[in-house]
A and B are shown apart, each in its own frame.
Chain A
Amino acid sequence: MRRRLIDILFASVVIGALLAAWELGVAYGYLKVYQFPPASRIAKGFVDLTTVGFPTGITVWSHTATTIGRILQGYAGALVLAIPLGFVIGSSRVLDKMTAPLIVFGRSIATLSLLPLAIVWFGTGELTKIVLIGYGCFWVMLSNVIAGVKYVDPVLLKAGRAYGASGIELARTVVLPAALPRIFAGARMALGVGFMVIVGAEMIGTVEGLGALIMEARTFYRSEITIVGMLIIGVLGFAISTGLMWLERALVPWGDPLAGVRR
């Protein structure tokens, strides 16, 4: 207990000193404010963003809401498609082997490289962004669902059959619960991909959303607002993935939340 307290104290003193040095470095002109806005300026940027907004009128909350909305639509679409499809592919050896190279290839395609194609098809509006997020999440989700279904411990399947379960009942009572930990791992990884893609997607053709905010702020030399935007994206990503971890612990109390992350 005491050791831990000392650790935290030590870390905060060192990090505090670094922040102070940064602040002083700017004050004495060793660092340019524009390039390295110090903590105090970033804090002021945050206040500006919540009151005035940037660009004027669009506050940080509406940027955040826009971004979350886009991610959730793409993410939900990917989940709705990938989970049933993954179950079908994962439970058939032939289908699994037939689709394996396609899935590997689908995953290898850099999602954002689809941006030009998506613009040709869907224009520069909302749909393009949502489709890109959906694409990125879909493959990660799909390969995890397939793996989850495919690698259900055969002993569990045997046990299930021994107790008379088969068909849909076996799938519901044995395969689904056994595959859930991996499905959740996939859901968390997919969300990470979604965050990654949204930032890139929002850098083109919009002024709303956190990705647009950080890009736009740079062109107006408001680097502190860029940094605030980045931090919000980071916090958001962290918060949502922690939330999913809690959800997973509640729904899959028997699973190891880190399984599948370290492979």
Chain B
Amino acid sequence: MKPGRTSDILLGLAGVAIVVAGWELLVRGGAVDPKLFPSPTMAFAEAAERLSAATVAQHTLWSLYRIVVGFLLGAVAGTVIGIAAGWYRGIGLVLRPIIELLRPIPPLAWIPLAIIWFGLGEPSKFFIIFLGAFFPVVTAAYVGITSVDPVLIRAAQTFGLRGPGLLLRVGLPAAAPDLLTGIRIGWGLAFGILVAAELIAADRGLGFMIMNERNTTGSVAVIVVGITLIGILNLITDWAIAAASQRYIGRWHGR
């Protein structure tokens, strides 16, 4: 009675195939102007003609470099601050209102300030991506550490654990599932922000690559391929993070 996973995958593939084929046919059939919206095969062929694989790889690596640096800074700071604010009452009392005030400000709105503080170079991009990762992670870490089952804390206390030992051996692992969810959300957000940051002020990276194509009235094909490439990168890295966190918490926490 229970349908297998293979049939699910086949259905999914069928769905993708229908959309791609439909798109291809619409363009080939003349219903859509290929200059405005090229078909998948046309877009790919044209992009391959205009850009060398090495150029694309270079832009991709730049984007990944920025996102990894900014994300790591944000995730580490978010974890430390969220845990500290949730575990130590005094720290929480001061930090929470500040975080709550700043959290609703979208990371992109910090771009002007980032430029004022860090100039137009890499640090301002790191900073924006940092913010994108920081807020989801800090929230998740705070929620995770404040919702640790009190009975676990008591149990650990009966074995003589307290202070930092209690935090490291009980608080952190208990908060890990929430924290990892936040990290995954943070990564996704960082990704979306990176492209925006590169659209506005950059001379390399995938965001720059597609915006530059538009500004120089180049080919829509390159833009379409670029957008797709960014989406696929996002998807693959998200799966990798999900798989890694599942490896760590999957057996004891479940899905």
Q: Give A contacts to B, CB under 8 Å.
A: 7, 10-11, 14-15, 34-35, 93-94, 97-102, 104-105, 108-117, 119-121, 195-196, 199-200, 203-204, 210-211, 214-215, 217-218, 223, 226-227, 229-231, 233-235, 237-238, 241, 262-263
Question: In the assembled complex, which residues on chain B have CB atoms less than 8 Å from the CB atom of A214?
Answer: 109, 111-112
Assess the A230–B113 pair: CB atoms within 8 A.
yes
Min CB gap B3→A, angstroms: 8
Does B16 sit within 8 A of A, measured CB to CB?
A: yes
Assess the A100–B12 pair: CB atoms within 8 A.
yes
Assess the B97–A112 pair: CB atoms within 8 A.
no
Assess the A34–B116 pair: CB atoms within 8 A.
yes
Does B224 sit within 8 A of A, measured CB to CB?
A: yes
Residue of B nearest to A115 (CB): B199
Question: In the assembled complex, which residues on chain B have CB atoms less than 8 Å from the CB atom of A114?
Answer: 227
Given A97-B8, A101-B15, A262-B178: A113 in contact with B195 (beta carbons within 8 A): yes
A91 to B19, CA, bound (A): 21
Question: In the assembled complex, which residues on chain B have CB atoms less than 8 Å from the CB atom of A7?
Answer: 93
Q: Is the interface of A mostly helix, strand, loop or mixed?
A: helix
Assess the B97–A199 pair: CB atoms within 8 A.
no
> Could you say which of B97, B108, B181, B226 has the most chain A C-beta atoms within 10 Å of its C-beta?
B108
Does B235 sit within 8 A of A, measured CB to CB?
A: yes
Assess the B227–A109 pair: CB atoms within 8 A.
yes
Q: Give B contacts to A, CB under 8 Å.
A: 3, 7-8, 11-16, 18-19, 36-37, 90, 93-94, 96-98, 101-113, 115-117, 143, 178, 181, 191-192, 194-196, 199-200, 206-207, 210-211, 213-214, 220, 223-224, 226-228, 230-232, 234-235, 238
A104 to B227, CA, bound (A): 15
> Could you say which of A34, A101, A210, A263 has the most chain B C-beta atoms within 10 Å of its C-beta?
A101
Min CB gap A98→B, angstroms: 3
Assess the A99–B224 pair: CB atoms within 8 A.
no
A27 to B177, CA, bound (A): 46
Q: Is the interface of B mostly helix, strand, loop or mixed?
A: helix
Assess the B213–A195 pair: CB atoms within 8 A.
no
Residue of A nearest to B13 (CB): A101
A262 to B140, CA, bound (A): 8
Picked from A15, A97, A234, the residue with its CB within 8 Å of the CB of B105 is: A234
Question: In the assembled complex, which residues on chain B have CB atoms less than 8 Å from the CB atom of A218?
Answer: 112-113, 115-116
Residue of A nearest to B103 (CB): A234
A113 to B194, CA, bound (A): 9
Given A117-B220, A223-B113: A200 in contact with B108 (beta carbons within 8 A): yes
Assess the A226–B113 pair: CB atoms within 8 A.
yes
Given A116-B214, A117-B220: A195 in contact with B106 (beta carbons within 8 A): yes
